[in-house]
Amino acid sequence: MERFDFGFAPYTLLNPEQRQILQQSVDIAFFNDDAIIIQAQQNIEHLYVMIKGVVKELNAEGEVLAVYREHDTFDARALIEGSSQNQFIVAEQSLVYSIPKETVQKIIAANAQFGAYFYASVADKFANFIGNHNENELTGLFSANVRDAYRKNAVWLDGNDSLFTVAESMKKHKNKSVLIRHENRVGLLTESVFRELLLKQGSPQDPAHQWATFDLISIDMNDFVFNALLKMMQYHVQRVAVLNQGEIVGVLEQVDVLAYLSNHSQLVAQRLESATTLDDLNGIAWQMTQSILVLKNNGLRAPQLAQLMQVLNSSLFEKAWRMIASPQLYEQSCLIVMGSEGRGEQVLKTDQDNALILSEQADLAEAEQAALKFSELLEKLGYPPCKGNVMVSNAMWRKTLPEFKQMVGGWARKATGDNMMNLAIFLDAKAVAGNTALLDEVNRHVRQFLNNDVGMLMTFARAVEQFDGDGQGFFSRLLHRQAKEKMDVKKMGLFPVVHGVRALSLENKVNETNTFERIQKLAQLGVLDAQFAQDLSEAQRYLMDMRLKAGLACLHDGKVVAPNQLDIDSLSTMERDLLKDALQVVKRFKNIIRMHFRLNT
């Protein structure tokens, strides 16, 4: 009979010879309540693995950094470094495996993967876990070819055709992109060209080739759809050119990938395009949720799913607003989404966060009725009303352009707590329907007041402390739980990173709205250390995965989705270990924000 249980990570990685080495040297030790297993700064000679009981890890200030239960291991890093910075004390009578340092070192020397579990960087640990976790789940994605997924309705124009002709072609063919031929080169124009046209004061008569992108990211039509998806994510694009024997023959859109992989007979994107009534949208909204389940089972992670769902949600919102608003109101308004939806970081349907910017010529009475109908429709489609009432149905978030500029500018000029949170909500805005130039105008206006005012930035950044509560960390509360403990992933992990990164981006005039793109830009500017930025991104991705796990569990149980509440007891040993790592990265980041913005003064 084996003395040591090898049925959990990372001990499942050991081969028979390595298991025998461990078996021959492992001991079992018992510790009573309040016993000190490891004292801070003492030499470490053993690696400990929990059999039963509870052990808490405390820093020099007495803060509980982690709680260890059955199958948890400590303190591997200190074993190599020679001593621990922290103290490990028994919270409940504990039985532990005690593995000599020499044995651990011998096994690590022979098994790099086992050592990497303990000593790899945070980013590498997350990447290694995700790779192992999804290894057998990607078969469906790898079997689908690009030739089966892309829509073979590419629109081709001449590079000397005007942008006005481009717009007419897009409208006629209901395409979001157009390919052009110019001087033996192939270029691409997307709907975003018309926003650039307004910002740079171009003319509709400009030749298309002046505004086209010619350095296209491409993929062969015989390649896998999943590889196309990876390219989109790698290069932060929503479409790739499709090649047949080296020649561009069409375009594969991100929304096509999601629709194809959803494995439904009638593609989501096509259903959205062909929808003619508000009732049509109800079935589409349900199908979008089903697509998430299929894609998640096929190995896609929450951040990628969120980006894909942002595309579909935007299309749904645009279609709904176009159906509800009159053609005149549609052109005289800009519907924007904010919060996680605006950042492209929301997977399952969550509270509505939207607003409406109106031109001065818009009929305000008509806009009010249309906005009320829009909010009611979204609720029917499964998007709950916003608890903070940040919705187009609220007159505060439905204003004419001058009024909206005055309101947002006022938030920036007067740094109260409420103003800063409203500003934070708005800074994540993305236009999804109507005249997008209205949002561009508000953004240009508010940027005039974001002049690195120290007091304003300090007040803005202080929201990272919003959910600190009584000062107790999550692991400290775990010690005193009376019932099954659940962790609010958003409050404990996601929000502090989102808002801290948003504050640094505001200070450094970073215009990106997606948190991962903001982190990348801050690293490029030298605001964040490159390795820490990678750790921070991976920790955030993992927390998003955990949030999605919680939300899907609610759907499975037929409950109203509460995607923030993570059941700790449902996690595997490895998932709990990674959760501790992720929360430690969040803690480090919060300390960086506190020091940078002098929040302790």
| DSSP E strand stretches across 129-207 | 156-158, 177-182, 185-190
The rounded distance, in Å, linking the Cα atoms of 329 and 171 is 18
- List pLDDT tens digits, range 17-33: 999 999 999 999 999 99
Low-confidence ranges of the chain (pLDDT < 70): 1-2, 120-123, 125, 127-144, 230, 233-234, 258-270, 298-299, 451-452, 468-485, 556-563
What's the pLDDT score for residue 139?
42
The rounded distance, in Å, linking the Cα atoms of 144 and 529 is 39
What's the pLDDT score for residue 561?
52
For the entire predicted model, the pTM comes to 0.71
* Domain 143-260 = CATH 3.10.580.10: yes
| Cis preceding linkage at 10, omega within 30 | yes
The rounded distance, in Å, linking the Cα atoms of 300 and 305 is 7
| Cis preceding linkage at 75, omega within 30 | yes
Cα distances (Å, whole numbers) of residue 408 to 199, 225, 420, 444, 462: 20, 42, 10, 11, 19
DSSP, collapsed to helix, strand or coil, labels residue 575 as: helix
Backbone angles phi, psi at 214, to 5 degrees: -105, -25
The rounded distance, in Å, linking the Cα atoms of 331 and 200 is 20
Tokens standing for residue 68: 């260890």
What's the pLDDT score for residue 300?
73
State the chain's maximal CA–CA distance in angstroms.
83
Tokens standing for residue 463: 């929201």
412: Cβ–Cβ under 8 A, 6 or more apart, which residues?
Answer: 419, 423, 446, 449, 450, 456
* Domain boundary assignment for the chain: 11-119, 143-260, 262-451, 458-596
Report yes or no: 498 and 491 within 8 Å, Cβ to Cβ. Answer: no
What's the pLDDT score for residue 138?
39
DSSP, collapsed to helix, strand or coil, labels residue 43 as: strand
**What is the domain class of 11-119 according to CATH?**
mainly beta
The rounded distance, in Å, linking the Cα atoms of 471 and 485 is 18
Report yes or no: 474 and 490 within 8 Å, Cβ to Cβ. Answer: no
DSSP, collapsed to helix, strand or coil, labels residue 562 as: coil
Query: Which CATH number describes the domain made up of 458-596?
Result: 1.20.120.330
Query: Which CATH number describes the domain made up of 262-451?
Result: 3.30.460.10
What's the pLDDT score for residue 263?
47
